[in-house]
Amino acid sequence: MAFLDIKNIDVFYGDVQVIFDLSLNINEGEVVSIIGGNGAGKSTLLRTISGLMNPAKGQIRFEDAAIESLPPEEIVHKGIVHVPEGRRLFSLMSIKDNLIVGAYNERADQYMEETLEEVYEMLPRLKEREAQLAITLSGGEQQMVAIGRGLMAKPKILMLDEPSLGLAPVLINSIFETIRKIADQGTTVLLVEQDVNHSLKLSDRGYVLEHGRIAMEGKAQDLLGDPHIKEAYLGI
Amino acid sequence: MIYFIEDAINGILMGSIYGLTALGLTIIFGVLKVVNFAHGSLLMVGMYVAFWTVSLTGLHPYLSLIIVVPVMYGFGYCLQAVVIKPIFKAEKNVREPLTVIIVTTGVWYILDNMTLLIFGPQYRSIQDNPLKGKMIEIGEMMISVPKLWGCIIAIVTAVGVYWFLQKTRTGRAIRATSLDRDAASLSGINQYRIYNMTFGIGTAIAGIAGVTLIPFYNIFPTVGVLFDIKGFIIVVLGGLGSIHGAIIGGIIIGLIESVGPQFMTSTWTEAIVYGLFLLVLFVKPSGLFGVKYDW
Ligand SMILES: Nc1ncnc2c1ncn2[C@@H]1O[C@H](COP(=O)(O)OP(=O)(O)OP(=O)(O)O)[C@@H](O)[C@H]1O
Ligand SMILES: [Mg+2]
């Protein structure tokens, strides 16, 4: 039984269907990438897993319990943590308050102080600036806070939606290094990225999402060598 | 000159009580993003709760706070949980759910008319009022004691609310929800519970305002309407969602109302109040202080 098991889900915005009969699974400790072009439905998939949206059909099971109809705060409590596209920080709150709010669920709250130290250790820049308002940070710093806030929730699965979006190449490297460290510490990671090269290199497996359907899946290495992927996503 | 200063001081004191009514409104707006048209009615309910507490128990008017605050908090919490929340859930995907505003308007009519049915239209005021007509004399100036207390209570409340929002776990969750509901949910915050609590806090503040008013103000079923309109004007002046903006905006309105009549008829002072309101809306819609949220 997979750690996270998604079976045949359909997802709609109003009357418009954007995910079609999608199945996907993640094992404990894996790093899995989802790649796909703009509008393929990657963010929608993450929003559905984290409970911001509900599938019209199909099941999502996590650690053998059905979660597809739970509200987001209960899914966080179970250990699935979603770092949304575009950072979505609490703009007029300090870095530190953003991080503290990340630990709001009861499971994480009791370890808040320790987790905060760990996050500061991994992302020392945040400690230097802990009193600064989130809105005043650069894009790279904001992404660090977004990831840090996700870690504060003590994720069993950390889902990252385009963490490298809009960042300079140096920063992209450091973001991927951070994700590497998180994975090495044993956290399962579900990574949505347009930077296919970087993300597949970091991953064990990958799924290719096209028009709301899984078009291809396999070992990350195999996907990196696949002619279709090379042409459509790597531009080689 | 001396009358001018006396009026100005009394205006500032009364204005800070207006600010207190606006404070509840601004906090509810800041988090739920809906204008609560029932806010004046909540103030009215607060005045009746305070009135009956004082009348039945013989407590000093200000001591009635220990009953009024929890009762009003619970009332607001339940009102949001039972009446307003279902609408929010049904309109989950709508950015600015207008239907919620319509519901708060309905709550306003229902509360005012229920009060009319139960307690009748008559004006009431507390008996054996220890603060009745009490004045402090400073030189030749007479300052109203209950208004002075009202001002102190208003400031203590505003500072307390600010501290609560900044420093407590729940306060942080409320701020987070006001800034980004989805991101707050993804951090484990139950958005609807925060709405309930915020509505409870806003209603409790309306109750505190009610307590400050009963020593010198009549109590009747439509008393809230007067404060409702002022509340909206103040909230726009001070900046939607701003705590100190609410208090300062209230003081500005109080000053115009009290000092104005020395120079013109009181119809004109009202015209000035509305004129200022429109001017701010045109020139600086984010409010006089420019900050949207200071918490
Ligand atoms: N709130 C919404 N209401 C209606 N349709 C939406 C909404 N959000 C997304 N969509 C549509 O759903 C489809 C999938 O969007 P989604 O954001 O999941 O794509 P994505 O793969 O994350 O794209 P990107 O790489 O641009 O982030 C798109 O066609 C989009 O237009
Ligand atoms: Mg997306």
Q: What is the DSSP letter of A3?
A: S
Which residue has the CA at smallest separation from atom 5 of ligand 1?
A: A13
Give the model's pLDDT for residue B284. 83
pLDDT at B21 over 60: yes
pLDDT at A200 over 70: yes
Q: Render A22-48 in DSSP notation, one character per residue.
A: EEEEE-TT-EEEEE--TTSSHHHHHHH
pLDDT band at residue A4 using 50, 70 and 90 as cut-offs: very high
Q: Indicate whether residue A188 lines ligand 1 (CB < 6 A).
A: no
Number of residue pairs across A and B with CB atoms under 8 Å? 71
Give the pLDDT mean for B235-254: 90
A113 and B169 in contact (C-beta within 8 Å)? no
Strands A213-219 and B141-144: unpaired
Residues in a beta bridge with B244: none
Nearest Cα to A56, choosing from A3, A5, A4, A13?
A13
Q: Indicate whether residue A40 lines ligand 1 (CB < 6 A).
A: yes
Q: Which chain B positions have a beta carbon within 8 Å of A153's beta carbon?
A: 187-188
Q: Does B93 touch chain A (CB under 8 A)?
A: yes
Q: Which CATH number do you get for residue A45?
A: 3.40.50.300
Nearest Cα to A44, choosing from A79, A93, A9?
A9
Give the model's pLDDT for residue B82. 97
Which residue has the CA at smallest separation from atom 24 of ligand 1?
A: A38
Count up the domains in chain A and report the number. Answer: 1
Q: Which chain A positions have a beta carbon within 8 Å of B182's beta carbon?
A: 52, 72, 84, 88
A4 and A22 in contact (C-beta within 8 Å)? no
Q: Is A8 contained in some domain?
A: no
pLDDT band at residue B241 using 50, 70 and 90 as cut-offs: confident
pLDDT at B168 over 90: yes
Complex ipTM above 0.90?
yes
Q: Which residue has the higher pLDDT, B295 or B261?
A: B261
Which ligand minimizes its atom distance to the CA of A194? Answer: 1
Torsion of CA A149, A151, A153, A158, to 10 degrees: 110
What residues contact B187, with CB distance under 8 A and at least 6 apart? A76, A101, A102, A104, A105, A149, A153, B176
Contact at CB, B185 and A97, closer than 8 angstroms: no
Question: Under an 8 Å CB criterion, which residues of A touch B?
Answer: 14, 50-52, 71-73, 76-77, 81-82, 84, 88-93, 97, 100-102, 104-106, 108-109, 149, 153
Q: Indicate whether residue A81 lines ligand 1 (CB < 6 A).
A: no
pLDDT at B166 over 90: yes
| Structural tokens at position B10 | 């009394």
Q: Is A6 contained in some domain?
A: no
Q: Which atom of ligand 1 is nearest to the CA of A194?
A: 25
Place of tokens 């008319």: B113
d(CA A117, CA A114): 5
Q: Indicate whether residue A44 lines ligand 1 (CB < 6 A).
A: yes
Q: Does B182 touch chain A (CB under 8 A)?
A: yes
**A-contacting residues of B 13-32, CB under 8 Å?**
none
pLDDT band at residue A44 using 50, 70 and 90 as cut-offs: very high
Amino acid at A211: H
pLDDT at B292 over 60: no
- Please tell me which of A21-35, B224-238, B249-263 the model is most confident about, judged by mean pLDDT: A21-35
Give the model's pLDDT for residue B290. 59
Q: Render A138-176 in DSSP notation, one character per residue.
A: -HHHHHHHHHHHHHHT--SEEEEE-TTTT--HHHHHHHH
Cα angle for residues B187, B190, B195 (degrees, 5° grid) = 125
Give the model's pLDDT for residue A236. 67
Cα angle for residues A40, A43, A49 (degrees, 5° grid) = 120
Give the model's pLDDT for residue B158. 96
H/E stretch holding A188: strand A188-193
Give the model's pLDDT for residue B293. 56
Neighbour tally for A17: CB within 10 Å? 14
What range defines the domain where residue A152 resides? 29-53+71-233
Q: Indicate whether residue A41 lines ligand 1 (CB < 6 A).
A: yes
Q: Is A13 contained in some domain?
A: no
B103 and B36 in contact (C-beta within 8 Å)? no
For chain B, which residues make up each domain, given as ranges?
Answer: 2-225
Q: Is A24 contained in some domain?
A: no
pLDDT in tens, B261-283: 888 887 888 888 888 889 888 88
Q: Which residue has the higher pLDDT, A111 or B93?
A: A111
A136 and A148 in contact (C-beta within 8 Å)? no
Give the model's pLDDT for residue B8. 93
d(CA A172, CA A139): 11
